């Protein structure tokens, strides 16, 4: 188990390194001179430009710039935002919880809808409930987030006036208001995942329900609810767990657009603003942080998969 874990970590480090080279390299291909942007009004003064370049080490060879950046990055220092003059790490840590709250809520919504719907759909296969669940899943998967978001804002904010159409209140400040500002974006984000989870749960349940051990469970005299909810579901969830973790990662990515629609100051907004303003340190930091989150999630997915699958746990 420990050996496996170390081996897994050994795979992660090179992955992140290659990624960092790519991010750094791509950055150099982006058009425009950051020094010009930073100089603002004084962009005509060559002395100011030279000073800025020296300060940011833009006058050094690329490999040196890269090594310098990596050396600081491994210590959690991603430099300063060129635009707002704040440490990138601080910006990330400020914005991440917002997106994380959104993602967790979206994921919970997806779980609460997707898994029971998948189970019911499998048990009532080819009946009206199954058709309805499949139809809704298709709807959830294929509906563009921006459209669903706008429709929800129109209905719940404009028409009914129940929920604020935009903005964000931190959970620590006012939990109720915080939920009110995030429930719609969370639903928009979660709806697609709910559909994916529903479909996978349904397929896995159909597989599990046709297994011999389900017949054994019935032969014991167990109630059908126990047969389905314990014996079949426990096995069906094994593949769904991995899928769920990967979907959670995709959810963080999906948050970028949703945060724009609902003007939520999260991770997504941070990176969009940074890209438009050529705020390279922020772009680099955010992309690296995202990569780190994805890598961590895939590690968690593997650990969870082992935890729920006795076959692997004892091997």
Partner 1 sequence: MVLDIRGLAVTFRTDRGPLRAVDDLSFSVEAGRTLAVVGESGCGKSVTALAIMGLLPPNARLSGSIRLHGREMSTLNPAEWRRRRGRELAMVFQEPMTSLNPAFTAGEQVAEVLRLHERLGERAAFDRAVALLDRVRIPDAARRARQYPHQLSGGMRQRVMIAMALACKPRLLIADEPTTALDVTVQAQILALLDELKRETGTAVVLITHDLGIVADHADDVVVMYAGRAAERAPAARLFARPEHPYTVGLLGAAPRIEGGPGGRMSRLASIEGTVPDLLHPPEGCRFAPRCPFHGTDCTRQPPLAEIEPGHATACWRAPLDQVLAA
201 binds partner 1 (CB under 8 A): no
223 binds partner 1 (CB under 8 A): yes
**Quick one: 68 or 234, whose CB is closer to partner 1?**
234
Q: Which of 98, 238, 255, 282 binds partner 1 (CB under 8 A)?
A: 238
Min separation Cβ 221 and partner 1, Å: 3
124 binds partner 1 (CB under 8 A): no
**Quick one: 102 or 232, whose CB is closer to partner 1?**
232
Asked whether the beta carbons of 261 and 237 are under 8 A apart, the reply is no
CA distances from 200 to 29, 114, 215, 247 (A): 41, 9, 22, 12
Q: Write down the H helix ranges in the chain.
A: 2-29, 34-39, 46-55, 62-73, 88-123, 128-142, 145-152, 175-209, 212-219, 224-226, 233-261, 267-276, 280-308, 310-313
Report how many residues bind partner 1 under the rule CB under 8 A: 21
213 binds partner 1 (CB under 8 A): yes
Q: Which of 199, 200, 202, 231 binds partner 1 (CB under 8 A)?
A: 231
Q: Within a 13 Å sphere around the CA of 105, how many CA atoms are in the beta-carbon half?
A: 20
217 binds partner 1 (CB under 8 A): yes
Partners of 87 in beta bridges: 80
Q: How far is it, in rounded angstroms, from Cα 80 to Cα 98?
A: 21
**Quick one: 106 or 205, whose CB is closer to partner 1?**
205
Asked whether the beta carbons of 153 and 125 are under 8 A apart, the reply is no
The secondary structure of 75-106 as a DSSP string is: TT---B-TTT-SBHHHHHHHHHHHHHHHHHHH
Min separation Cβ 14 and partner 1, Å: 33
Q: Which of 234, 263, 292, 307 binds partner 1 (CB under 8 A)?
A: 234
Stretch that binds partner 1, among 90-98, 115-123, 242-250, 305-313 (CB under 8 A): 305-313
Q: How far is CA 212 from the centre of its chain?
A: 38
Q: Specify the residue for token string 């997806």.
A: 110
Q: Which of 28, 166, 216, 296 binds partner 1 (CB under 8 A)?
A: 216
Q: Which of 108, 220, 229, 296 binds partner 1 (CB under 8 A)?
A: 220
Min separation Cβ 206 and partner 1, Å: 15
Give contact residues for partner 1 (rule: CB under 8 A): 211-213, 215-223, 231, 234-235, 238, 308-311, 314
């Amino acid at each position: 188990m420990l050996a496996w874990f170390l081996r897994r970590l050994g795979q992660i480090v090179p992955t992140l390194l290659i990624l960092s080279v790519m991010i750094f390299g791509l950055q150099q291909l982006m058009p425009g001179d950051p020094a010009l942007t930073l100089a603002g009004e004084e962009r005509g003064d060559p002395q100011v430009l030279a000073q800025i370049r020296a300060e940011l080490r833009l006058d050094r060879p690329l490999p040196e710039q890269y090594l310098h950046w990596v050396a600081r990055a491994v210590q959690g220092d991603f430099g300063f935002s060129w635009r707002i003059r704040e440490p990138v790490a601080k910006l990330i840590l400020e914005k991440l919880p917002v997106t994380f709250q959104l993602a967790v809520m979206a994921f919970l919504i997806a779980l609460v809808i997707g898994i029971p719907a998948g189970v019911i759909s499998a048990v009532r296969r080819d009946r009206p409930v199954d058709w309805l669940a499949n139809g809704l899943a298709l709807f959830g998967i294929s509906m563009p987030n921006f459209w669903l978001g706008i429709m929800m804002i129109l209905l719940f904010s404009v028409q009914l006036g129940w929920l604020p159409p935009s903005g964000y209140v931190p959970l620590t400040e006012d939990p109720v208001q915080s939920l009110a500002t995030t429930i719609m974006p969370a639903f928009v984000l979660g709806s697609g995942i709910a559909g994916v989870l529903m479909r996978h749960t349904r397929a896995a349940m159909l597989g599990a329900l046709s297994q011999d051990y389900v017949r054994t469970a019935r032969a014991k005299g167990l109630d059908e609810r126990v047969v389905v909810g314990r014996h079949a579901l426990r096995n069906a969830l094994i593949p769904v767990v991995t899928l769920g973790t990967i979907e959670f990662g995709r959810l963080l990515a999906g948050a970028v657009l949703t945060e724009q629609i609902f003007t939520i100051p999260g991770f997504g907004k941070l990176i969009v603003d940074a890209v438009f303003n050529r705020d390279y340190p922020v772009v680099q930091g955010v992309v690296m942080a995202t990569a780190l989150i994805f890598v961590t999630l895939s590690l968690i997915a593997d650990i969870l998969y082992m935890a729920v699958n006795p076959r692997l746990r004892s091997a």
